[in-house]
Structure 1
Amino acid sequence: MQNPVTVIQSVRLDDENDTLVVLNQTVLPNETNFLELRELEDIWDAIYQLKVRGAPAIGIAAAYGAYLGAKKSIAETYEALFEDFKKVKDYLATSRPTAVNLFWALNRMENRFKQEAGKSVAEVKAALKEESEAIRAEDEKICEAIGEHALSLLEPGWGLLTHCNAGTIATAKYGTALAPIYLGQEKGYNFKVYADETRPLLQGARLTAWELQQAGVDVTLICDNMASIVMKEGKIQAVLVGCDRVAANGDSANKIGTSGVAILAKHYNIPFYVCAPLSTIDLECKTGDDIQIELRPSEEITSKWYEKPMAPEAVQTYNPAFDVTDHSLITGIVTENGIAYAPYTESLPKMFKS
């Protein structure tokens, strides 16, 4: 029987109607609503407003957006079409600064465009469609491979802690950090999963808990500040998280709060694994200090989830969307080509050669 969650396509192309279709993650778990995006501004807004989120899903959406933008161009020459494509690409690149998949996917689309030099406008547009579809299809295989590698690190019946949402709706299928949970469920591992709520946007509460519950996984929702006690009580045997960017030294940027979970895991001697597609590994970025951290609006902290504001009016806020987990706190980085261990400056480049 198919898992009701892993069959969800959170990002897909409706080419016949020049439309990007995305699952609106901002209204989950109360509504399952798919948005039909036809204008480039709406695609940008969907990425910025987290209607589509998760590093792989952002990359897929950006690739489709780049294709649709080029498709709508009335340019009659390769050169003129490239000018229009570059405007689309540069615009979409401004939507989120931290997730490297956004730039990876857009650069891959530009590289494919350049490979079609000398061909007709129609042929170039067809190639861009093919490339965007390939990005989505490859991500599905990548997530399954990450899941298999991560599952090899786990034992049946283990308690697992995860943070934010790195599941099916954040990718093409299976997810990254949730992939071993879904694959383990298919094999009868009977994991007991604890999901951090993930303040301030509650991706763990709204998305991960929803996904896993829908899939029939044994999942327990906890507040972020409860991670320490469940670890101390022996309920957690491993921590699995996704990531948005991995630096060459293994420092990993993920949703705010991840580094705190890693520090706790280190204290309680619990393995902490980062599940990272190769597309999120940025070997040009030397350390986590070089990763730009996105700052988001104060309303997400003070009033977004409340009938009335839960903070004094006009109080100063600091709302970074991500933090960086130091490589020294990471037990292993799970990629589609295997598991990298410290020293990451040596092991991560090898993952690209597997």
Structure 2
Amino acid sequence: MPEGTRDVLPAEWSRREHLRAQLSALLLGWGYQGVELPALEYAAHGHPLGDRAFKLIDSGGQVLALRSEFTTALGRLARAHYPQGPFPLRLQYGGRLWLRAQTSELGRLREFTQVGAELIGVATAQADAELLALAQAALEAVGVNALLEVGFPGFVDAVLEDAGVHGEAREALHGAIDRKSGADLDLLARGRGLDREVTRTLHALTDLYGGPEVLEAAAGMAQGTRARAAVAHLREVAAHFGGPLLYDLGVSRRYDYYTGLTFRAYVDGINQPLLGGGRYALEGGLPGAGFAVGLERLVRALPPGVPPEPETVLALDLAAAGAARNTGLRAELAWTADEAELRAYCAARGIRRALRGPQMAAAWEVGA
């Protein structure tokens, strides 16, 4: 099969579908209505992942792309079907994504699955806090305890602007700050002729990681209007959220895409986030924010046996099969009267019991 793709076997499929159903039910309970989006879309200049999307040409010569992320498609859906709202618009989605090259996804998959939520049409601290609370509730619902890590890429850009760093130098420094590479910062600062005070500020940005004390340190660095507004917004979001948060205000990736707060969630043993999202502006200026959960990563984060699998039995007739299913068991129907063949199959499948009749009388047990 092509590199970056894989087969999903029954045990993983079952766990993944269970998680998908749990997440969807939780999102629906918070008022996030489900939508389904086409896997094919028009290839468009300026698409955030356009250079990494699979492209193909249809019979009319139109260049199409396989869906590489959901946010752009949801923006199109909102403009087409809800031009006047009502806002806020709460939507949930789930499905496959495809990328030609994906080095950051678990196992470098080029085909993977996400479930997510979007809150469109409002841009308040309360809305951001709602998404943080929803993200935390989603992980807790499937048995994952993880602290949310909050960033604000525009804060780094605002501090660089206040320090008088512009153009190509600012772009290069964004990357070095996001990588938290002190050596690269020093090299870039010397190459651009930045003074010692600015260089100290750059290094201080990479250290803005931790609890509420990070906001205090950021407030001390915030000189201009944009930087001060970012800190004030984060404080307001934290007050509405009310729970513990980690802050990484040295996050600078995609600062030209995200217009405000970003967040991720990590668990031990997996070096990529289970969940990630943030605030952005849709085409036309409509505000939006949301997050997505990677189901492949989520399956890997859960311990074996979560969720618990119901017992599977072998039903020797339809009456036993129906009765077993009514009690919550999984029932496979016998296809032959050859007991030796059935016993061998059960042993290979890990099925312990064979049942007969509407009372589910035990006909025999494997190993007995």
Q: Whose Rg is larger?
A: 2
Same fold at TM > 0.5: no
Give TM-score scaled by structure 2 length: 0.19
Give TM-score scaled by structure 1 length: 0.20
Q: When you count strand as a share of all residues, which structure comes out higher?
A: 2
